[in-house]
């Protein structure tokens, strides 16, 4: 007997048949005596269809009316799911973000949830109903419809779970959990039983796109146990929680990687205060997000910078840097055939030697490391794109990640 | 400088191009200094698409969740229209039925409007905006989304016009007004400049399907001047108002007709109290709506009934009657190749001789009248289907309806 919040994404509710399958799944949970609050996304393709309509009218469509438009996507799904549950004698009631009062700020298209009114949901649960809530949407103080931005349905689910003090928040996706690395690269990649919020954040932001980052942050902040599992297969998925007391071993959770990287280097920059700002200012002015940054000070009074950006921004970043160096000096070079590869795990904190083991494994394969960056629970290296699969497989093997007793 | 409520139906907003055309039209009215509240339907085809989705899940879908689903149709249109107006520098803001508080009862799928909160609309109008409201939908006391049933957007427009005390409620359709009869049958059928609410009700219910009957009743009740006009052509359309004091002439407004009729006759029914109920009870129990009813008492202690039903209900009605007469006696016959043809006009009230003129015109053409029924402002006759066009043309000519001075 638990209170569970479940979230089904667009693919999971992408057709009438799939909605009916989700209804059966929900009924199964009900039959085991649980109270259920279900958050759903728009049917896959629907948000794109609506956006295309809006763009025909206004290519840069945004703001209040876009939210009025897009929020219809989830509204269709909640109604259909409530009907499907009704058809199999599982009483259900649907609510839009406005109805259940998912109160947000007024930042249209990427609003932030401020508060959730749990009163109505509790009374419907007490009446024995499954409560279905439209994901991705809310309402501001003036009663205007807002949306939370792409992937916002995960955030809705976590916010509801926090407000309702749910026992667990289950995110159903098209994968059956979080893996030690991408199974398409490493055949014996293993599904993790548990992972910490921090590790999940590193895994997610590094390209293992299972959950929306904001929802993981939110779950961590409010200590909502989050479970990722498959809509299409049975299984317990991966539980994302706070770090456990007994995680004393040097745990490595997994290997994340990101192909969409490009690297830029500026050498022989005069080393004086404010130089980093002068160099990188034009890049961020061009709305280019910088990922890793490394600086080395040379002996001749100059300094070298290397950093990475998304591969799509490579040309623009190159131009911005050339403008900057024409004023302050320095030489710009770069390449867009590199990738980032990261080892993630809370175990790194307390156990020395993981970095050196990582570098040795890569060296043994003849893989040259172009750049290194570390944080408390991850080590990232930039390498030649052509070595990506080799590097990931070597590390997965070297750290014995396919086994439950990974070190 | 007037306050005008406009309503655009599904065909008028059936594509992005048409929505843009409607936006231009609205901008034109604004430029002439008017305050505008615009009610829109779902884009044509959208309600059917949504209904089909629901029926895949529940063939008899109805109730609360159907309203959650269908109301998304208009919500899409209000957002797109607001964007289209924004694009041509005509500030606009959209509201769903819930947001503007179109308060209804809780009869899902065919709710009745109880009250409209005009506060928010007035303040947006004062701020110089065009206010766009989703037709067809409202909200009940518990905050649930309701819909008003097919054609409900007309009712929304009239209710808003009444609440806002608008100077005129304009219903834009794909015809340019109300005609003396169907122009496809009578080539010189004339668009009426004015018609009374009562006449319009008779015309509408008899098959001249321009406006939803309930919206005309509503407009009459609250004395909202209603104008029917074309979305696609310029023109003043037809104004529907209260009867004017100076309508002293024997005015005939038009000729309505309905092809979907069938006639049933029961003869030799024992004439005793309660017999009509015993006979017709089984018919209405079968959910068959009876239109005209005529009873003749014979000399032999028996009585004859003749009545009409929708042609789709003919077989069911026949069976229901056979069941009834097997108990109480009588013989059932019927035919489904008949039509109803009606002369409508407030002038009938004060001028005798219109009925006899009508019957003479039909007789002159050799058209046999099978059944007659009259009300204060209309005379309906049932005739052979094959004489429909001939009868309509003869009456249109005989009553000189193509001319402004119709008698």
| pLDDT over 50 at B407, yes or no | no
**Which helix H or strand E contains A346, and what residues bound it?**
none
CATH number, domain B254-398:
3.30.2130.10
Identify whether the C-beta of residue B91 lies closer than 8 Å to the C-beta of residue B130: yes
Q: For residue range A151-184, list pLDDT tens digits in order.
A: 789 999 999 999 999 999 999 988 888 888 888 8
User: For residues A382 and A385, what is the distance between their CA atoms, to the nearest angstrom?
Assistant: 9
Of residues A360 and B294, the one with the higher pLDDT is A360
Question: Does A15 score more than 70 pLDDT?
Answer: yes
Interface contact B21, partner A, CB < 8 A: no
- Its pTM stands at 0.79
Q: What is the ipTM of this complex?
A: 0.76
Q: Tell me the angle at which helices B64-87 and A64-87 cross, rounded to the nearest 10 degrees.
A: 160
Q: Of B378, B389, B361, nearest to B203 (Cα)?
A: B378
Cα gap B174→B151, rounded to integer Å: 14
| Of A68, A80, A99, Cβ closest to residue B54 | A80
Best residue of A21, A72, A109 to probe chain B, by most B CBs closer than 10 Å: A72
pLDDT of residue B92: 97
Instruction: Return the pLDDT at B299.
Output: 67
A-proximal residues of B, 144-183, CB under 8 Å: 144-145
Contact B82 A68 (CB under 8 A): yes
Predicted local confidence at residue A163, as pLDDT = 92
Residues of B in contact with A87 (CB under 8 A): 57-58
The token pair that represents B309 in the structure block: 């039903």
Residues of A in contact with B75 (CB under 8 A): 68-69, 71-72, 75
Q: Any CB–CB contact under 8 A between B66 and chain A?
A: yes
pLDDT tier, A206 (very low <50, low <70, confident <90, very high otherwise): low
Q: Is B117 on the interface with A (CB under 8 A)?
A: no
pLDDT tens figures, B331-376: 999 999 999 999 988 877 666 678 888 888 999 999 988 888 877 7
Distances (CA, A) of B407 to B183, B197, B250, B251: 19, 19, 6, 5
Q: What percentage of residues in chain A have a pLDDT greater than 90?
A: 53
Distance from CA of A31 to the nearest CA of B (A): 21
What's the rounded Cα separation, in Å, for the pair B211 and B228? 8
CB contact under 8 A, B61 and A78: no
More confident residue, B311 or A296: B311
Residue A327 has pLDDT above 70, yes or no: yes
Q: How far is A360 from chain B, CA to nearest CA, in Å?
A: 58
pLDDT at A349: 67
Partner-chain contact A72 B68, CB within 8 Å: no
* Position B243 pLDDT exceeds 60: yes
Q: What residues in A contact B50, CB-CB < 8 Å?
A: 76
Q: By the CB < 8 Å criterion, does B69 face chain A?
A: yes
Gap between the Cα atoms of B369 and B366, Å rounded: 10
Q: Across chain A, what does the average pLDDT equal? A: 88
Chain A positions touching B145 (Cβ under 8 A) are 96, 99
Residue B193 has pLDDT above 50, yes or no: yes
Q: What is the pLDDT of residue B88?
A: 97
> Is B68 in contact with A78 (Cβ distance < 8 A)?
yes
Q: Which residues of B touch A80 (CB under 8 A)?
A: 53-54, 57, 65, 69
Please tell me which of the candidates A57, A66, A72 has its beta carbon nearest to residue B87: A57
Rounded mean pLDDT of A70-80? 97
Burial (CB count within 10 angstroms: exposed 0-12, middle 13-18, buried 19+), residue A195:
buried
Task: Check B16 against A56: CB less than 8 A apart.
Answer: yes
> What CATH number belongs to B3-174?
3.40.1160.10
pLDDT at residue A142 greater than cutoff 80: yes
pLDDT at residue A18 tops 90: yes
Burial (CB count within 10 angstroms: exposed 0-12, middle 13-18, buried 19+), residue A71: buried
Select from B19, B72, B98 the Cβ nearest to the Cβ of A72: B72
Q: Which two tokens stand for residue B345?
A: 């006009």
Task: Tell if the CB–CB gap between A96 and B53 is shorter than 8 Å.
Answer: no
For residue A209, name the pLDDT band (cuts at 50, 70, 90): low
A390/B contact by beta carbon, under 8 A = no
What residue ranges do the domains of chain A occupy? 3-174, 254-398
B365-389: average pLDDT: 88
- Locate tokens 């209900």: which residue? B313
d(CA B97, CA B299): 59
Chain A CB contacts of B19 below 8 Å? 57
pLDDT tens readout for residues A276-292: 788 888 888 888 888 88
Q: What is the 3-state secondary structure (H, E, C) of B3-22?
A: EEEEEECCCCCCCHHHHHHH
Higher pLDDT, B175 or A56: A56
A31-46 pLDDT tens trace: 999 999 999 999 999 9
Q: What is the pLDDT of residue B245?
A: 57
């Amino acid at each position: 007997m638990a209170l569970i919040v479940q979230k089904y994404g667009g693919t999971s509710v992408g057709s009438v048949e799939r909605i009916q399958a989700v209804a059966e799944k929900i009924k199964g949970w009900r039959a085991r005596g649980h109270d259920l609050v279900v958050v759903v996304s728009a049917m896959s393709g629907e948000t794109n269809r609506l956006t295309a309509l809006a763009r025909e009218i206004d290519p840069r469509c945004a703001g209040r009316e876009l939210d009025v438009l897009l929020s219809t996507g989830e509204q269709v799904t909640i109604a259909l799911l409530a009907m499907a549950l009704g058809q199999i004698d599982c009483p259900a009631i649907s609510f839009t973000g406005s109805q259940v009062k998912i109160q947000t700020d007024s930042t249209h298209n990427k609003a932030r949830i401020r508060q959730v009114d749990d009163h109505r949901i509790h009374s419907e649960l007490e009446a024995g109903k499954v409560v279905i809530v439209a994901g991705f949407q809310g309402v501001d103080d003036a009663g205007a419809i807002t949306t939370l931005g792409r992937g916002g349905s995960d955030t809705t689910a976590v916010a509801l779970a926090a407000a309702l003090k749910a026992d667990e928040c289950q995110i159903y996706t098209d994968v059956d959990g979080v893996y030690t690395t991408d199974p398409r690269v490493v055949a014996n990649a293993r599904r993790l039983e548990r992972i910490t919020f921090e590790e999940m954040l590193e895994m997610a932001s590094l390209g293992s796109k299972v959950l929306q980052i904001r929802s993981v942050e939110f779950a961590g902040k409010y200590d909502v146990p989050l479970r990722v599992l498959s809509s299409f297969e049975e299984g317990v998925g991966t539980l994302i929680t706070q770090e456990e007391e007994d995680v004393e071993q040097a745990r490595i959770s997994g290997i994340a990687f990101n192909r969409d990287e490009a690297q830029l280097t500026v050498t022989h920059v005069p080393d004086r205060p404010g130089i980093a700002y002068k160099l990188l200012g034009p890049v961020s002015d061009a709305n280019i997000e910088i990922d890793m940054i490394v600086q080395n000070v040379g002996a001749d009074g100059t300094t070298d910078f290397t950093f990475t950006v998304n591969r799509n921004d490579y040309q623009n970043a190159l131009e911005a840097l050339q403008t900057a160096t024409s004023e302050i000096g320095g030489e710009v070079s770069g390449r867009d055939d590199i990738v980032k590869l990261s080892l993630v795990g809370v175990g790194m904190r307390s156990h020395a030697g993981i970095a050196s083991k990582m570098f040795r494994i890569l060296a043994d394969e003849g893989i040259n490391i172009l750049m290194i960056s570390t944080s408390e629970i991850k080590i990232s290296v930039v390498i030649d794109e052509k070595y990506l699969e080799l590097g990931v497989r070597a590390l997965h093997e070297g750290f014995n990640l396919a086994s439950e007793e990974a070190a």
